[in-house]
Homo-oligomer: A and B are copies of this chain.
Amino acid sequence: MHHSRPVAFVFDVQSDDIEGAARFWAGALGRTVAPPNPQHPTYRELSSASPEEPMLLVQSSVGHESRIHLDIETDDQEAEVKRLEGLGAKLLRKVKTWYVMEAPTGHRFCVVRPQRGELTDQNSNVWP
């Protein structure tokens, strides 16, 4: 048994201007930019309207065109990758602590460790 849920939409930005990118999206969406985490200098988090909505992140300096990707968080990454493969997704590679996958629709997405505390039967999907 494991849990998963969509946890974040990430605005991947080709340029290195993380401040400008975060400022634009915060202004466009009426959010504020959280203080940077020195361990993750190319990321900024935008404030949430509600704790239930997915986090909104901005990431600069990506090695591909700008796009939005989805992160799915789970308490068992191997089981979640296998489950998603069963639905038709392909595992592309593991990077640090996350798995990069490609959906049958062509979208890239990541399977990540829990980002906002414990996943429970109440706040997440439960998979047998």
Interface residues of A (CB under 8 A from B): 4-6, 9, 11, 13-15, 20-21, 24-25, 27-30, 49-50, 52-54, 56, 58, 65-70, 72, 84, 87-89, 103-107, 109, 124-125
Instruction: Please give 12 more A-B residue pairs, beta carbons under 8 A apart, in addition to A24-B103, A24-B105.
Output: A15-B105, A24-B87, A24-B88, A24-B104, A28-B72, A28-B109, A49-B52, A52-B53, A54-B54, A58-B105, A65-B106, A68-B107
Query: Once the chains are docked, how many angstroms separate the CA of A29 from the CA of B56?
Result: 17
Number of copies: 2
- Enumerate chain B residues within 8 angstroms of A107, measured Cβ to Cβ: 11, 66-68
Contacting residue for A9 out of B4, B65, B68, CB 8 A: B68
Smallest Cβ distance from A99 to chain B, in angstroms?
13
B68 touches A28 (CB 8 A): no
